[in-house]
Each structure stands twice: as structure tokens, then as C-alpha cells.
Amino acid sequence: MSITSAIVSIPATLLIIIFLKVALGALWNRRKHGPYPPGPKGLPIIGNILDLPKDNQGAVYMNWGKKYNSPIIFASAFGTNILVINKQKDADELFDRRARIYSGRPRIPIAPLLGWDTCMIPLLPYGNYWRLCRKIMQQHFNKEAAKIYEPMILDHVHAMLARLLKHPEKLYEHSKLLSVSITLTMMYGYQARSNNDPLIVAADEAHHLGSSVLTPEASYINVFPVLRFIPPWFPGASSHKIAARTLSLTRMMQNFVTNFVEHSVANGTAIPSLSSEFLEKRKTIQVSEDEIRATADVAFTTYGAASDTTMSANRTFFYLMAVNPEIQKKAQQEIDQVIGSARLPDFADRPFLPYVDAIYREVMRWQQSLHLGAPHELTEDDYYKGYFIPKGTMVMGNIWAMSHDEDVYSDPYAFKPERYLEDNGRLPKNDRIFAYGYGRRICAGQHVASSIMWAIMASVLTCYEIGRDKDDFGNEIDINDEYITEGLLTHKKPFKCSIIPRAPIYRELIAESQKNIS
């Protein structure tokens, strides 16, 4: 048999093996351990692969919960079991109280071909190396440490205010540059001046290509891992070509930022950052190879993940302000009473602007960039609510369903910041935001992310009036309410809106904020 014919015959052979494994394994589990949680009935071999949604996943799984009258839903695809959690109390029980066995990560077979299996911390399995990375992140991004980044965050937000002043029609470009430049500065001390920066261009392409093949329906390699051994030149091996390009771009970015930081530290021109501080640390104390690698991976992950989610939330904020002028006005009244018009807001003002903070929380509840978050993996067999959940099950917390739970939020699809305010006008102490995840896998950078988003919202609301754009006859132009999913992220479809200074004084304040920025 030739190599080519052997490769072609692999899928058929695998289908037979998988059929026997799935059919016999499922039958054995049900007889020995009891029933699985409710869910749609699957087909032989492929399970529920045809039922799994590609779009609006959070809403679809939430509807499954209603259809099967269960807050937890079970499905399978080619032998991979999937558990979707639609209620907060179930997420708390499994991801928090049973975190020891619900903190794994499912292996994505194509990830090593992308170069993402080790450098992207959200994809790491639960283990010693992940704990080391997590420790570094907690040290640098905990609530107290996050305050170190506040002056830098304000500088970048003020720069966006200035760009909006010159070109308000380029909201999406400004939002992207802000999100990327903050994380690049935090991690490497690198100052990106435009979206045409080669590093940003490479990151965009790598993210777009890599995320397009991460899911089972996007690449057969994730269903039949043996296919990763097919050479890229083989006909139909499109995933391999995408992976090769992604790997090349990923390595290029890693080498570039490493060389940049080393060069700037050696020349004494380094802007304080996680990477530069670690290089300085290595001069005085001995560090392990794992710590060197982990610090680099933390920086790379933070740059990639934080910039995308910030950009998505920022665009949602502008959209919601444009279509909810009464909410915008109420926030501006609060700002005017607390700050006046003599300066721009800073983080010392945050405790005294509860309505602005309520807007931040409601934006994060109303729409998330990741409707299902990152999947967990069960590392041991478990029982919950009388159901058997087998080891290796992919467990997903449905952030969308929990954020739109009618039992928790009245009128959940409406944008109502007031829902977060107590009768005395204060914010409740519980500031949990589902978008940051759960359990031991909760986003370690949530405090920095919160600071960034609050600074954007408070600063924009202080300086600008956001509304619907108008046509040549002065009529307001409707704004589309559509969201689109690209790769793993959901974000607002491009729209036009009006962004004008609230008064001449704010032009002066914005200009003043730029005088000391290099």
C-alpha cells in the first residue's frame, strides 16, 4: 500500500474504532454508573455533532436547558462528552467547590501545530507549570498590584480621547489601538503608534488564522488527531497550511518582543513592564528555566487575550451609549456633580461614581466576547444531581445564560445599570462578573481589565456626547443591533455613531492631557 492510500484510509479505520469505542463505552457507562444529564439524542459514531451550534451558542444552549427542563445539559461529538452549565449555582458548585477535578483543560490536537499548546496559558492543562504561570499572574495582576498600571492606563485612554477628537469616524480603529497598546506597554514597554505597526498586523493575522481552526467543526484534526501527521502539501490539508502560517507568525512575534525588551533594557531605554522588570530581576537573583519561560508565556498570553476582550467590550459600550441617551445623560450628571469640568476623571473618583461603575457592570453582563468562556475538563468521574459525568468530559460554563437568567435578572435583555444599585444608590459589595470566568481558572487579570474598562467609560462620558449619526437632511440614522462571531470571539458589528465634545472646555482638557505624553 502506498503512503497516500494509507493516509486516505485512516479516517475510515478511525470511524470503525471510534464507533466501537463510543457505542460500547456509552453502554457500559450507563449500565454501571447511571444516566448522563439530559440532552439531545445523538446519532451513532458522530453523536450530537450535527446538533452543536456554530453561532449564538450561549443562547442555543440556554434554550436546550428550557427544552429539557435541566440547568445542566449533556451532549457528545465523536466520543467527546460535553456538559454545559446554564445556572450560576451549578457553576459555583462544580467550578469552585469541586475545583480540584473541574479545573482541567481539554486538549486541542491542532494547538501544537499552531505553537499555542505551551505559550497560551488558557490552553494549558491543570498542573505544576500552569500553577507557576498562575502565580506570576497573581503577583502582577492582583487587586493591589493592578494599581501600578493606573497612570499608564489613563495615559493611553487620554490618547484615545485625542484621536477621537481628530477622527471620531474611526472609532473601531481607535478602540483597537487602545486595547493593543495598553497590553503591549504593560507586558513589554513597547509603544505602538498605529494599527499598521508590524507587530499588530502579525498578531491580527495569527489570531484570525489560529482561532479559525481551534474548534472540532473547524478542523478534522481536532476530531481525528492522527491527521496532524499528514504533510502540509497533501491535497486537502488546509488546516496544516493555516497552522504553519500561524506558527511562523507566533514565533516571529515572540522573537521580536524578546529582542525588543532585551535591547531596551541593555540600552537603559526600557519602559517599566512585566518583561523588563523580570530581566532586571535576573541580574540580581537566580531564576529557573521554567520561571523564565513562564514569564514570557504570561506576557504573550496577556497581550493576546486581554487586547481582544477589551476591544470587544469597548465597542459594546459605545453602541449602548448611542442607543441609550437617557442612561448616558444620567452618568454625565453624576460625573458633573462629582468632578465638575475642571479636569478629567482619575481612579480616585471611582468610589464616588457608582452609576458609572454600574454601567461598566451592566455592559459586561449584557454582552460578552466569549459567551461560553474557555472550556474546562473533568479529570475524574463525578456524580451531580443524580447524573453520572464521566472523566474527560468538556465542561462549559454558559456565561450568556447566567447573565440573562430571568430568575436572577428582571428583564435580562434590557440594558439597565440601575439593577446594580441598592436603594441608597450605592453599589453592592459583590462585584462578580461572569465574563471573567470561574473557579481556579478565573481570569487573573480581571482587576486590570476592570480598571481599563472603567477608565474608558468614565473618560469618554466626561468628554463626549455619543449619539446616532445623521444623514444629509438631519435625520437620525438607525444603528444596527447585530453581533458577529469570528473565531472564538463575539463582537459588535461595525456601526456609525456621532461622537462630539460635550463643551469646548473638554477639548482643552484633552489637549492638556497630551502635553506630557511622549
Q: Give binding residues for heme as ranges.
A: 443
Return the exposure string of 271-297: e unless at least 16 CB atoms fall within 10 Å of the residue's CB, then b.
eebbbbebbeeeeeeeeeeebeebbbb
Identify the bridge partners of residue 485 per DSSP, sorted by sequence position: 490
How big is the CA angle at 330 (ends 407 and 408), to the nearest 5 degrees? 5
- The DSSP-derived string for 473-518 is TSPBPP----EEEETTEEEEPP--EEEEESSHHHHHHHHHHTTT--
Number of H helices, E strands in the chain: 16, 10
Counting beta carbons within 10 angstroms of the beta carbon of residue 12, is it exposed (0 to 12), middle (13 to 18) or buried (19 or more)? exposed
Nearest in space to 382 (alpha carbons), one of 108, 33, 118, 44 = 33
The annotated binding site is made up of: 443
Counting beta carbons within 10 angstroms of the beta carbon of residue 100, is it exposed (0 to 12), middle (13 to 18) or buried (19 or more)? exposed
Nearest in space to 60 (alpha carbons), one of 46, 39, 80, 43 = 39
Phi, psi of 340 (to 5 degrees): 80, -155
Instruction: Let me know: does 104 contact 240? Beta carbons within 8 Å.
Output: no
- Helix 238-267 vs helix 198-211: angle between axes, to the nearest 10 degrees? 150
How big is the CA angle at 387 (ends 386 and 390), to the nearest 5 degrees? 140
The secondary structure element, H or E, covering residue 347 is none
Instruction: Let me know: does 240 contact 231? Beta carbons within 8 Å.
Output: yes
Would you call 109 helix, strand, or coil by DSSP? coil
CA pair distance 345, 355, nearest whole angstrom? 14
